[in-house]
């Protein structure tokens, strides 16, 4: 102990990479527990940007062990590229630093094809997936037709499993029948090569994580995506195919609920969403464009323009509840500087006029719900130099207080710029395990 989970409290891209990198400074291990390379986690250090898709956001810290847990779906080609890119940038990615669960599932060429084909077939109704094969891979996992990392180490097993996985997909894959990537021999050889390359990294990651916890070491569990993209709790079917909520850290890393001490929810000071699906506080026109440009709201993985909206407290309260959040990291407050008035959604109004203080469970209600707002004063000041709560303008502090009270979760960390030093550790962080020593400066010096 202690175990600290970091999750997205919105629709992804909240700044989990930055928060994980910051907390990793005091951590011994960082474990990614779900999702795949649909994720894009950004870290900005000394003006240099790092975009990670599969490798945990602790990798820039020389002595932190990074673990890709069993709950992650791995595209081995992408993982190898990511390893090579890091190495080219002088980041050590030796097997001592990175361990990959033998039980994690692999994204195969046909998963990418099925993801493309599935979206094409849905036409107007498409989900807007990242087309990285995530959904089809998790579907195979559930259907018990998945190929796991450990299968890369045995040619006979690998081939057998590929044959079994391909069989029920013949019809859907017909348009790709002539694609050389689908040839059994080619695919097997390609994946065996990946296996050779990844073999030194493959490990019993559950044992490793428990060894760390048993020794009292600090372990971070890094989530991908966000609560509203959760396959059970999000805006289904406009969701990803895994569980980005904190409970999934147990499953995707192989620990029990009692191994978790804190759950940090990362949220922006406003909302964004990539892909289709309900978004009750969505803005359009000039205001949306302005926030998008100021916040650089373009997908880290796909480059798509993110949809933008006001902060949604209905959704945030829901995220706080389903994750048992113990702290909030509120990022991108700086992006809101310069607006006269800001709005925060306190509840929804349904098409029939009903008021919703809680996140509506019914898809039809949610699709037609619109946000109702508390209007608050903005602030003209640039926040990027603020390092203490007292440096913030009064209106910004009021905005934060309103948010924390409504979400009923203390704000431990405030983001005031993309750089890792552009943060404020609040007083609330001092009573938290991660906040206490996770901060780059000791409490007394802040």
**In the 8-state DSSP scheme, what is residue 405?**
H
417 binds, among ligand GDP, Mg ion, ligand IMO, none (CB under 5 to 8 A by kind): ligand GDP
Q: Which of residues 211-240 bind ligand IMO (CB under 6 A)?
A: 224-226, 229, 240
Q: Closest separation between CB of residue 255 and Mg ion, Å?
A: 24
Q: Closest separation between CB of residue 11 and ligand GDP, Å?
A: 10
Q: Select the residue interacting with ligand GDP from 309, 418, 435, 438 (CB under 6 A).
A: 418
Nearest to 189 by CA among 148, 152, 163: 152
253 binds ligand IMO (CB under 6 A): no
Q: Select the residue interacting with ligand GDP from 4, 7, 11, 14 (CB under 6 A).
A: 14
* Two structure tokens written together for 226: 């966000």
One character per residue 256-295, x = contact with ligand IMO (rule: CB under 6 A): ------------------xx--------------------
Nearest to 430 by CA among 419, 438, 420: 438
Q: Which of residues 397-416 bind ligand GDP (CB under 6 A)?
A: 415-416
Please tell me whether residue 71 adopts helix, strand or coil conformation.
Answer: coil
Give the interface segment with ligand GDP, choosing from 117-125, 129-137, 139-147, 329-337 (CB under 6 A): 329-337
Is 41 one of the annotated active-site residues of the chain?
yes
Query: Whose structure tokens read 């902060």?
Result: 311
Q: Select the residue interacting with Mg ion from 3, 7, 10, 13 (CB under 5 A).
A: 13
- Per the document, the length of the chain is 446
**In the 8-state DSSP scheme, what is residue 254?**
T
d(CA 40, CA 90): 20
**In the 8-state DSSP scheme, what is residue 274?**
-
d(CA 173, CA 136): 12
Q: Which of residues 396-415 bind ligand IMO (CB under 6 A)?
A: none
Give the residue ranges of DSSP H helices in 61-183. Answer: 76-88, 109-122, 134-142, 155-166
Neighbours of 18 (CB within 10 A): 27
230 binds, among ligand GDP, ligand IMO, Mg ion, none (CB under 5 to 8 A by kind): none
42 binds ligand GDP (CB under 6 A): yes
Q: How do strand 355-356 and strand 370-377 relate by DSSP bridges? A: unpaired
Q: Which of residues 352-371 bind ligand GDP (CB under 6 A)?
A: none
Express the helix, strand and coil content of the chain in percent, nearest 5 each: 40, 20, 40
Nearer to ligand IMO, 8 or 76 (CB): 8
* Two structure tokens written together for 294: 């100021």
Give the interface segment with ligand GDP, choosing from 12-20, 29-37, 142-150, 344-352 (CB under 6 A): 12-20
Is 204 one of the annotated active-site residues of the chain?
no
- List residues near ligand GDP by CB under 6 A: 8, 12-18, 40-42, 44, 296, 300, 331-332, 334-335, 415-418
Catalytic residues: 13, 41
């Amino acid at each position: 102990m202690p175990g600290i989970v970091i999750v997205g409290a919105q629709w992804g891209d909240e700044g989990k990479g930055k928060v994980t990198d910051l907390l990793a400074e005091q951590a011994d291990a960082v474990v990614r527990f779900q999702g795949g390379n649909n994720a894009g986690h950004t870290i900005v250090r000394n003006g240099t940007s790092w975009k990670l898709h599969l490798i945990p956001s602790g990798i820039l810290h020389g002595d932190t062990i990074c673990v890709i847990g069993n709950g992650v779906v791995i595209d081995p080609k992408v993982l190898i590229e990511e390893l090579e890119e890091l190495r080219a940038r002088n980041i050590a990615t030796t097997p001592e630093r990175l361990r990959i669960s033998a039980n994690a599932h692999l994204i195969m060429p046909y998963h990418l094809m099925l993801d493309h084909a599935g979206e094409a077939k849905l036409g107007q109704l498409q989900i807007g997936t990242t087309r990285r094969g995530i959904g089809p891979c998790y579907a195979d996992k559930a259907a018990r037709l998945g190929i796991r990392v450990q299968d890369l180490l045995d040619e006979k097993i690998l081939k057998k499993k590929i044959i079994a996985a391909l069989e029920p997909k013949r019809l859907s894959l017909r348009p790709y029948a002539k694609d050389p990537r689908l040839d059994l021999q080619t695919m097997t050889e390609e994946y065996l090569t990946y296996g050779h390359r990844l073999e030194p990294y493959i490990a019993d990651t559950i044992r490793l994580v428990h060894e760390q916890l048993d020794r009292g070491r600090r372990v971070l569990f890094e989530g991908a995506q966000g609560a509203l993209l959760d396959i059970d709790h999000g805006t289904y079917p406009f969701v990803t195919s895994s569980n980005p909520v904190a409970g999934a850290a147990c499953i995707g890393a192989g620990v029990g609920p009692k191994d978790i001490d804190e759950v940090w929810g990362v949220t922006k000071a406003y909302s964004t969403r990539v892909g289709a699906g309900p978004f009750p506080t969505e803005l359009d026109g000039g205001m949306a464009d302005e926030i998008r440009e100021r916040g650089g709201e373009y997908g880290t993985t796909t480059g798509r323009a993110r949809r933008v909206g006001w902060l949604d407290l209905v959704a945030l309260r829901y995220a706080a509840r389903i994750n048992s959040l113990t702290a909030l990291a509120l990022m991108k407050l700086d992006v809101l500087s310069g607006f006269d008035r800001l709005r925060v959604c306190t509840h929804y109004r349904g098409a029939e006029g009903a008021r919703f203080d809680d996140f509506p469970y019914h898809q039809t209600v949610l699709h037609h719900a619109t946000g109702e707002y508390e209007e608050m004063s903005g602030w003209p000041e640039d926040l990027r130099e603020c390092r203490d709560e007292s440096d913030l303008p009064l209106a910004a502090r009021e905005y934060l207080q309103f948010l924390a009270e409504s979400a009923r979760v203390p704000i431990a960390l405030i983001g005031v710029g993309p750089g890792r030093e552009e943060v404020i550790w609040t007083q609330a962080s001092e009573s938290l395990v991660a906040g206490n020593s996770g901060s780059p400066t000791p409490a007394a010096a802040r």
